[in-house]
Structure 1
Amino acid sequence: AHPNITIELVHKDNVEVLREDFQTASLAGTPPEMLWTVNDHAGPFTAADIIQPVDDLFDLSVFVDSALEAVKLEGKTWGVPISNGNHLMLLYNKKLISEAPKDTDELFAKGKELTGDGNYGLVWNQTEPFWLVPWLGGFGGKVFAEDGVTPTLNTPEMIATLKFLHAMKYDAKIIPPESDYDGADTLFKEGKAAMIINGDWSLSGYKEVLGDDLGVARIPKVVATGEWPKPYTSGVYFMLAKDLSGDKLEAAKEFINFVTSKEKQLEMVKKLNRLPALKAALDDPLISSDPILKGSADQMVVGTPMPTVLEMRCNWDAMKPEMQAVLADTKSPEDAAAAMQSAAEACIESLK
């Protein structure tokens, strides 16, 4: 116990607000000592030089490699992992579909059987490119070249991905005409959608509504390539303000070691259904004997770490309107991919 240490918790509405507020407070010279945040903040925070590396402060060998990889930049580690995953997967209602489709042909066939009268075979957030990325991986594409900073959005793989999503909507017709995050979430919870592609953060909410009828599986394999879709994996991390030192740094280290202990990691698994980042906790029977967590872990192993570089923000902003245009049937996949590439390049140029 540490009766002499008080931690003041400040909750932000979402991670974007957290990012902006931390940057503003850091510039003003009054940042909070510690952050509980997502790995893609490592890019902007290191670029602004407002956090410190943690390699020499903690024994990082106790954590899962994929969790550490997601916060590595310039050979240094910029966060201590709390949970691992943050990945999309296929969730299904066993009352409506007994088992998950194994591949995209099965997905379209089963989806058609389940669509009609205001019900849909599948729902997902059609407004955000985070939901496009797994399929891009399944078609063999990536958003960056080998250097990790040059966008590769105008490729045959991206065009194939956009064509596939267009076909899902306009040929197979297994998804709603329009659907943002909340729309998809509501349809699934109300039993009007048999399947949803959503993240591990949604598991505990769906478990509450569906109970044992909730199934978890990998996003179906892409028949055209024989590849599994590759959702981005990341996690939640502690990051430390750049100038944190002395007694306050020691107190922060104590707290982080407490939260990332095996006992606390397993408590988090029970409460939040999130996969732990600590190797010893990930191997616990609590996970291997739970079909929901086991399914989540099975999807995570074919995922790919989400890029943390600043240039990724340009890619997200470039992909979003073009994916929406293809799904609105107002732009061809070819034109959309070309527009994504030029928007990303222009954005990256403006960062220089």
Structure 2
Amino acid sequence: MVLPIDEVFDKAFLDTLDPLAIQASRVAGVDWGVPDNYGNHLMLLYNKDLVSEPPKTTDELIEMAKGLTKDEDGDGEPDQWGFAYNLNEPFWLAPWIGGFGGWPLNEEDQPDLGSEAVVKALQFVRDLKWTHKIVPVECDYNCADTLFKEGKAAMIINGDWSLGGYAEVLGDKLGVAPIPEIPGYGWPSPMTSGKYWMVSKQVKDDPDKLAAVKTFVEYMCSKEVQKQWLEKFKRLPSNKELQNDPAITSDPILAGSMAQLQKGRGMPAAPEMRCAWDAMRPNLEAVMADSITPEEAAAKMQEEATRCVQEMQGG
């Protein structure tokens, strides 16, 4: 249905774009889309009234959040939480898997959920709730979002889509930083994606149409057009030259978002990723309910995702 981008566009043009942005359109080693923006990534957001400097490591995050989790009225339940986010959502687990050195799919686009990295990521998020007690016991996306907006959560992990709403409520109290590094392992890698232009095979044999498509896509992905999107809509660019533009570096929110984006990793576009998501969700929920161990959950994730892929492929 569509053409690989390297069959349509010159290498010189593709080299102007962030390779990680292009990577999120890759299936079976082939890149299918040209991005005109880049983002959709998670990051650490914090309330500057409660957090003067964001934590650089997960150890710092945990200790800081413990000090910021407070029962101010003495009823036995915290009125202020140090940390909050949607713990049961697999998209929020992915950065931790990356931080421990794994990823939901391997290089062959097959599930890789039974790895030690997945076990460690599950253990880490479980401990936030049950060992360190720095996150609300039952809290979904809307709960965490509300707590942060009301100043009842000092830090939250959320995506770039939430920045406008938080800036409107918190103003210059809103801080943005990369999700803290895991000591001895590495930086968590939130999944990233963008908006992509794809070229239909139907224009391949029509030189005029193909030339028109190339001209249009190259224009939409140009530095000049992406600069307008950046200035008007705060959409981070896929164009590498713009990633150090003053419009980003002089804006603390955009600069923090870009710093996180550069530690991200393209969301797999392969259909096998749907099997991974479907296997991750119930088993992550079970870990957070303390009904199965991280080791059991990782093994079940791998088994269920592998079976799903086999069924999808007619096996």
**C-alpha displacement at 1:250, in angstroms?**
5.9
The 5 Å alignment of 1:170-181 reads 170-181=130-141
**C-alpha displacement at 1:308, in angstroms?**
1.8
Cross-structure match for 1:99? 53
Asked whether the equivalents of residues 28 and 108 of structure 2 are also in contact (C-alpha less than 8 Å), the reply is: no
Asked if 1:289 corresponds to 2:250, the answer is: yes
Give me the whole-angstrom Cα distance separating, in 2, the residues matched to 1:251 and 1:185.
Answer: 44
Cross-structure match for 2:75? none
Asked whether the equivalents of residues 141 and 157 of structure 1 are also in contact (C-alpha less than 8 Å), the reply is: yes
Give me the whole-angstrom Cα distance separating, in 1, the residues matched to 2:302 and 2:282.
Answer: 12
Give me the whole-angstrom Cα distance separating, in 2, the residues matched to 1:96 and 1:267.
Answer: 35
Cross-structure match for 2:176? 216
Identity %: 50
Asked if 1:274 corresponds to 2:235, the answer is: yes
Change (3 A) 1:251 1:204: farther
Amino acid at match of 2:197: F
Unaligned residue ranges in structure 2 (runs of 5+): 71-77
Change (3 A) 1:259 1:165: same
Cross-structure match for 1:264? 225
The 5 Å alignment of 1:1-352 reads 50-58=1-9, 59-74=13-28, 76-116=30-70, 117-145=78-106, 147-223=107-183, 225-243=184-202, 252-352=213-313
CA RMSD of superposed structures (Å): 2.1
Task: Provide the TM-score with structure 1 as the length reference.
Answer: 0.79
Change (3 A) 1:76 1:329: closer
Amino acid at match of 2:65: G
Cross-structure match for 2:74? none
**C-alpha displacement at 1:74, in angstroms?**
4.6
Asked whether the equivalents of residues 87 and 125 of structure 2 are also in contact (C-alpha less than 8 Å), the reply is: no
Amino acid at match of 2:202: D
**C-alpha displacement at 1:241, in angstroms?**
4.2
**Structure showing the higher strand proportion among its residues:** 1
Change (3 A) 1:313 1:258: same
Task: Provide the TM-score with structure 2 as the length reference.
Answer: 0.87
Q: How many residue pairs align between the two structures?
A: 301
Cross-structure match for 1:11? none
Q: Write out per-residue CA displacement over residues 173-202 of structure 1, whole angstroms, 9 at most, x where no aligned residue.
A: 111122222222222122121111111222
**C-alpha displacement at 1:242, in angstroms?**
4.3
